[in-house]
Every structure is written in structure tokens, then in C-alpha cells.
Amino acid sequence: MEEPAEFPKQKYDTGWLLNCALITAVAAFLRFFDLGLKPFHHDEGVNGFFLTGLFRNGTYTYDPANYHGPTLYYISLFFSKVFGLNTISVRMSVAIFGVLTVVLVFYLRQFIGKTGALAAGLLIALSPGMVFISRYFIHEIFFVFLALAFVLAVLLFIRNEKAGAGSIIWMVVLLLVCFAPSGIMLASYLGGDNTTVVWAFRIGFFTVQAVLIFFVMRMLMAWNGGRPIYMLLASASVSLMFATKETAFITLGTMVIAIPCVLIWRSIYKTGNKQDELSEANDAISWRHFVLALGEGNDRLLLIAASAAVFVYVFVLFFSSFFTFPEGVQRAFGAYAVWTKTGTKDHTQSGFWAYLKWFTGYGQADSKVKTAVEAVILVFSILGISIAFFKNRHRVAMFIGLWAVGLFLAYSLIPYKTPWLALSFLLPMCIVGGYGLNELIRSTNLPTKVTGIALGAISCLLLAYQSYDLNFVNYDNDGRTYVYAHTRRGFLDMMAKIDHYAEKSGKGGEIGIDIASPDYWPMVWYTNDYPKAVYHGRMPDNPNAELIVAKKTDQDREVIAKLSGKYKFEGIYPLRPGVDLVLLVRNDLAEADAQDVNRLRNP
């Protein structure tokens, strides 16, 4: 059997580790600092509604019409059980994967260079969009993390003859995720209302599962040095992508198309620099070496069968809500019919070039400040792709470049557009941009090297400022890229007033709240602790609750007609662009300076 090509050994020197730690710390700070600052978006509120049902009732049933897949809710359930059901804990469940995405990029050192991996990690860490969506309780960050995990797992499967520490840890985590929840649910069922018995069963089941996982890992490590672990992780990543968003087929389809495109380009374009150590190593990332890594005979068949089994098991596990809702598996295939209907309308009215406009700041509503977020990354990605294709014919960099360009074209062609969809191609743009910087900085030509260092430093400062401005200053300003129909910060002032009146009434969470406005998301999330908050969507016939929330303008006449003399007008609060809410307080609870509801005619 032909042996795979030798790869240069990685040297994890102190300087490298310190740089990785510093970039990771920057990424963590930007993603975790003051996570409750930004009010929930409409979509976050809906996700929070599903999570609340899972948290309180222990049930979740997948419905393809309700946004995306089930993975987000189960990940956030873990954080909610540990840190409580609140805004910060659920956003932490997303932010952690924003940081881990940066960490994964460092493992590309062997393929895009030491400087390239650090530069790519820094671009992702500072990217305004990557930070913004990492602070959002939606599916996107986990989805792009999985896409990168899949690519990395395949690359490492080809390159490494033995499983590394990182892959072993992830495999153990995957096994725990696959088996531990079922044990916990079975323990609760067998133990009933007896807490002591429930915990006894939980400890017993966990012990048995831990022993089984130990033996499974020992068998995997004995199988070709643990190399098959990479393929199992790649398979699990793909399965989790489908269980996260139905757009997985677009990402994976783009990757599949990119592979022959790289082969064709290298066969027709022969010009390029002489091979160096990095290029030689990347030339070994080929279909031939992938087939060699699969092994021969029974080994190959067993690995393919095991990978397929992992894919099916993980897919069924999540869509069936850990085997409690079998219908979810069948519903998973119906998601694409739903998606073809919801993905046909451009709600942003920005056309084919929407993403390019958003990245460059062209046509932003705020004419005073053209932030051009991600323009730096766009430039570096073009540089990296050009070098990869026309200078070095670099297999991995070309693949990543096509991954980025392919998804950009795909999402530009699809009518439905939202800013967070851009992350699917922004991630590979950052990586290939890091490769471009690597080629400038490691150049033997001094002016080129100095130019690369200067551009990198200036760009990092610019990205850092843009991330600060977007995520901590203008996070609800629709004139900024990525801010899409976001809840205004003044909404939190209204919720603070509701909390104030709940305490003043002496009823606390038992205070009555009638939400008459037909527009109210994400308010459902913020009234989780108010069981008597009723969402009518219209003005109730005989309102008597202590607090009423109505829609300004549309319901003014009805408010005056039905509530005059009974309620006071507390204030007007913005919900999102074009929608304001009115908080009304019953006379016996209202503050002395509260206004008569007739003032709504001229507040």
C-alpha cells in the first residue's frame, strides 16, 4: 500500500501559544462582555419561546415551519440549567462557539501558514459581523462553526496518522451528548417525584455511560492510531449542520463543487512559484491521499459504515428530540419544502448585490457614517484568492476561496437575504484573507513584508473600532450593517417600568399584564416570569389588568375610548423601526406624574 506523504511537523513554540491565547482572549472579551446590553431581536424572542418550553416542560417537538433545527435549543438548555434561564446564559451558549471558531482556525496552521492561521483567527475575532452574531441567540454561529469543523476534520484525517488531543476531546464530548441526555430522562422517568431516587439513577446511568465511553474511545484509539476519529467527527459535523439549519445543503454543495474546480484549475494553469515546504504539504491534500487514508479492504468498509452510522444516529437523535418525538425525523425532510417558500422573497429590498453593499457600506441609511464593515476582510480575501490561484496554486487556499465565492454567489442569487446569512461566506473569507496576509508577511522581499505588516496592523485597528461601534454603541441603529429590524434599546426601559410596577403592586410576578398590541416579539421572552401576562393581539373587551401594553397610533382611539378614566398613560417606548408601544397603568397603581390617556392624541 502506498504511504501518505509526509507533512512537516508543527512546532507549538511559546510565542505561537501566547499569540493564540491573546487572540482567543480578544475574541472572548468581544463576545462575552455585557451580553445583556442589546435587547433580544424578534428571532431571538421566538427561539427563547421554544427554549422556555423545553426548559420548563422538558419537551420540544421539531416543526420545520418554526425557524430552524433543534440543536440550538438543546445546547442552550445545558447553559440554562447551569446558569439559569436568562438572556446572558442563552447568549453564552452561542458566544462560546464564536470563540471556538477562532480556536479551530489555529489548527489550519499546517495548511495556510503560522502567520496565516494567526491572521485568520484575528480577522474572525475582530470581524464586526462575527462578533455581532456571536452575541445573538440564533443558529448561525454554531452552523458556521460546524462547517469549519467538517473541513478541518477532513484535512486532519488526510494529514495526521494519529488522532490529536483536540479530536479526542471532541469525540468524548460527542459521545456524552449522544448518550447522557437519554440517561438523564430515563432516570427522571424511573425516579418519579422522589429526588433522591432520581439522582441515584442519574449517577448510576452516568457511571455506566462513562465506562462505555471509555471502552469505545480505547477501541477507537487502537484502530489505526485513532485516525478514524477524524472521519467520525466530520460525519457528525455534517449531521449537526443539517440539524441546525436547512441551508446545510447549500454550504456542502458549494464545497463539493469547489473540489473539482481546484483540480481543473491546477491541470490547466501550470504557472506558479517553485514549491516550498508549505506548498508541498498542501499538495498532499488530494483525493488520492484521502483514499489512501481510508485504508483498504475491511478497514475501509468499516470506516465508511461507521461514518454513515454516526451521521444517521446524530440526525435521528436531534430531530427525534432524543427519541421522544419520532415524527420529527420525518418532518426534517419537509423542511426543504418550507424553505423553498420562505426563501423566495427579498425582505431587505437590496437586490443581488445586497451583501456587497452591506460589506462596503454602500447605500447605508446613516449617510453621516459609512462604516464599510468587513471591507477590510473583503480586500484581504481577494488578495488571498488571487495569490492562491495565480501564484502558488495552493490547493487548500483555493478550496477555501471557492467556498467563500461560491456561497457569496449562491446567497446573492437567492432572493431571501438577511445580514446573518453572510457569515457562511464571511468565515472562509477571513481564512483565505489570513492566507493572503501570510504570503505578504513571509515574503523575502522587504517592501512586501513591511507592506503586509502595516496593512495587517492598520486593518486590525479599523476592525476593532468597527466592532466596538457596532456591538457596543450602534447595536440597534438600522443604519448599520447587520442591524436588521432590531429591537430598540428603549424597549428595555419599558420592561424596567413593568418590573417597577410589579414590585410596587406587591404582587411581583403575579401582576396582571394585558398585551393588546399585535406586535410584541420579543416581549414574550421578557415576561417569562409573569404567568399572568396575556398576549391578546387586540384590545380586550373589559380590561382590568394592572398594566396594559398597546400599539401607538394604531390603537390610540381604542385606548382612549376604553381606558379613559381607568388607566394612566406611563409613556411611549420603541419596539423596532416603525413600531412604538404604549404602557398604560391602572389608576390605583399609577405614579402621581402619570398622564391622562387622552394625552395620546398629543403626547
Question: Are residues 509 and 443 both part of a single domain?
Answer: no
Statement: residue 149 has pLDDT above 90: yes
Alpha helices by DSSP H, 361-394? 375-387
Q: 27 lies in a domain?
A: yes
Q: 319 lies in a domain?
A: yes
Report the distance separating Cα 31 and Cα 467, nearest Å.
10
Three-state DSSP at 582 gives: strand
Task: Give the CA radius of gyration of the chain.
Answer: 27
Q: What is the pLDDT of residue 344?
A: 57
Report the distance separating Cα 543 and Cα 560, nearest Å.
13
Report the distance separating Cα 599 and Cα 182, nearest Å.
57
All cell numbers assigned to 465: 473600532
- At 276, give phi and psi (nearest 5°): -115, -175
Q: 289 lies in a domain?
A: yes
Report the distance separating Cα 248 and Cα 236, nearest Å.
13
List Cα–Cα distances, 356 to 133, 170, 599, in angstroms.
18, 36, 46
How many domains does the chain fold into?
2
Q: 222 lies in a domain?
A: no
Question: Are residues 451 and 512 both part of a single domain?
Answer: no
Residue 353, amino acid: W
List Cα–Cα distances, 473 to 462, 482, 483, in angstroms.
15, 13, 12
Residue 545, amino acid: A
Q: What is the pLDDT of residue 3?
A: 46
> By mean pLDDT, which of 90-94, 371-375, 512-516 is the weakest?
371-375
Report the distance separating Cα 390 and Cα 583, nearest Å.
62
Dihedral angle sign, alpha carbons of residues 262, 267, 271, 276 = positive
Proportion of the chain in helix, strand, coil states, percent, rounded to 5: 65, 5, 30
All cell numbers assigned to 181: 441526555
Indicate the residue among 473, 507, 534 that finishes a domain: 473
Report the distance separating Cα 470 and Cα 484, nearest Å.
12
* Average pLDDT value over all residues in the chain: 90
Q: What is the pLDDT of residue 367?
A: 42
Indicate the residue among 430, 447, 473 that finishes a domain: 473
- At 412, give phi and psi (nearest 5°): -75, -35
312-368 tens-digit pLDDT: 999 999 999 999 999 999 999 887 777 666 655 665 556 788 888 888 876 555 443
Question: Are residues 541 and 413 both part of a single domain?
Answer: no
In DSSP notation, 452-508 reads HHHHHHHHHHHHHHHHHIIIIISTT-TTSTT--SPPPTHHHHHHHHHHHHHHHHT-G
Report the distance separating Cα 15 and Cα 115, nearest Å.
12
177-198 tens-digit pLDDT: 888 888 888 888 888 888 888 8
Question: Are residues 137 and 251 both part of a single domain?
Answer: yes
Grade residue 5 by pLDDT with cuts at 50, 70 and 90: very low
* Domain extent at residue 423: 14-161+227-473
Strands 547-551 and 513-515: parallel
All cell numbers assigned to 311: 451521521
Q: What is the pLDDT of residue 1?
A: 39
Q: What is the pLDDT of residue 597?
A: 86
> Can you name the residues that pair with 574 across neighbouring β-strands?
580
Q: 214 lies in a domain?
A: no
Question: Are residues 131 and 25 both part of a single domain?
Answer: yes
Q: 177 lies in a domain?
A: no
> Which residue shows C-alpha cell 417537538?
61
All cell numbers assigned to 528: 417569562
Report the distance separating Cα 431 and Cα 407, nearest Å.
14
Q: Give the residue from 110, 217, 104 showing the smallest Cα distance to 159.
A: 110
Question: Are residues 398 and 365 both part of a single domain?
Answer: yes
Statement: residue 525 has pLDDT above 50: yes
More confident residue, 308 or 266: 308
472-505 tens-digit pLDDT: 999 999 888 899 889 999 999 999 999 999 999 9
Question: Are residues 397 and 511 both part of a single domain?
Answer: no
Report the distance separating Cα 172 and Cα 195, nearest Å.
28
355-390 tens-digit pLDDT: 888 888 765 554 434 466 789 999 999 999 999 998
Look up the pTM and report it: 0.92
Q: 212 lies in a domain?
A: no
Q: 198 lies in a domain?
A: no
Question: Are residues 270 and 399 both part of a single domain?
Answer: yes
Rounded to the nearest 10 degrees, how much is the dihedral formed by the CA atoms of 539, 545, 546, 548?
Answer: -20
Report the distance separating Cα 134 and Cα 578, nearest Å.
26
- For the sheet containing 513-515, what is the strand order? 533-535, 513-515, 547-551, 579-586, 567-576, 595-596
Question: Are residues 416 and 524 both part of a single domain?
Answer: no
Report the distance separating Cα 334 and Cα 15, nearest Å.
50
CB 67 within 8 A of CB 137: no
Question: Are residues 467 and 591 both part of a single domain?
Answer: no
Indicate the residue among 409, 438, 473 that finishes a domain: 473
Question: Mean pLDDT across the stretch 464-476?
Answer: 95
All cell numbers assigned to 530: 409573569
Dihedral angle sign, alpha carbons of residues 532, 533, 538, 541 = positive
Q: What is the pLDDT of residue 407?
A: 97
Question: Are residues 62 and 87 both part of a single domain?
Answer: yes
Question: Mean pLDDT across the stretch 45-69?
Answer: 89
Question: Are residues 555 and 454 both part of a single domain?
Answer: no
